[in-house]
Amino acid sequence: MAEKKKSDVNLDWGWICKVGLILFAITLVCTALLAYTNSITSPIIAKQNEEANVEAQKEVLPEADKFEQVEDLESKLSSLGSDASIVTEAYSAYKGDKLVGWAIKTTPSGYGGDVTILTGISVDGKVEGISILSQSETAGLGAKSTDPSFYGQYAGKNADEEITVVKGQTATDNQIEAITGATITSNAVTLGVNTADQAAQILKEAAE
C-alpha cells in the first residue's frame, strides 16, 4: 500500500509539472501576441496623439500656422523655481516667419489628479485661449473645467498679470469665476495658466 501511495505522489508531481509547462507556454504566447499588437498600435496611437496636440495648439493660438517645440525647456525656465516642474512642453508659434506667441503645456494637480492644460499666449502678452487636454476630476463638479463656459473665461486675460479666482461673485479684470463646488480644480487650472504665462514671459525675453 505504501508503494502505491508513493507512485501516486510521483504521478501527481508529473501532472503538476505538465500543467505548469502548459501554462508557461500559454503565457509566453500571450506575451508575444501583446508585444506584436503593441508594435502595431503604438505608432498609430502616437500619430493620433500628435495630431490631437497640433489641433489643440491651433485652437489656443489660431493666428499661428506653424509650431516649433522649445528645446532644453527645463534650463530655460529654471528661474520659475518649483512651478517649473508643471511645465512639460512649450512651442513657439509662428505665422509664416513671424513669431506670434507660445503654446505651453502644464500639468497642475487638481482634486482627482493632474490636469493637463495647453495655454496659448500671444507676444503682446494676452491669453489667446486654453484647452483642457486631460483631467480626472469629479463628474458634475471639477470635470466642468472642460466646459467652454469655464475655460473660455481665460481668453483675453492679461498674461503679464496674475489671474485670480473668485467665488460667488462676478469676475472682473484678471479674475476667473470658480466652478461651483470645485474650487480646487479652478485653482489648479488657474495655476497652470499663470505658470504658462510666466514661462511665456521668460521665453519672450530670451527671444528678444
Which pLDDT band holds residue 1 (cuts at 50, 70, 90)?
Answer: very low
Q: What pLDDT shows up at residue 2? A: 47
Average of per-residue pLDDT across 68-92: 92
Q: What pLDDT shows up at residue 162? A: 96
pLDDT over 50 (residue 41): yes
Higher pLDDT, 2 or 202: 202
In terms of pTM, does the model score above 0.85?
Answer: no
Which pLDDT band holds residue 44 (cuts at 50, 70, 90)?
Answer: low
Q: Which residues contact 96 (CB under 8 A, 6 or more apart)?
A: 65, 66
pLDDT over 90 (residue 6): no
* Environment class of 160 (CB within 10 Å of its CB; exposed 0-12, middle 13-18, buried 19+): middle
pLDDT, tens digit, for every residue of 84-135? 899 999 999 999 999 999 999 999 999 999 999 999 999 999 999 999 999 9
> Per the structure block, which three cell numbers stand in for 50?
500628435
pLDDT, tens digit, for every residue of 130-168? 999 999 999 999 999 999 999 999 999 999 999 999 998
HSE (side-chain half, CA atoms, 13 Å) at 174: 15
Average of per-residue pLDDT across 11-32: 78
Q: Which residues contact 29 (CB under 8 A, 6 or more apart)?
A: none
Please, are residues 61 and 118 in contact by the beta-carbon 8 Å criterion? no
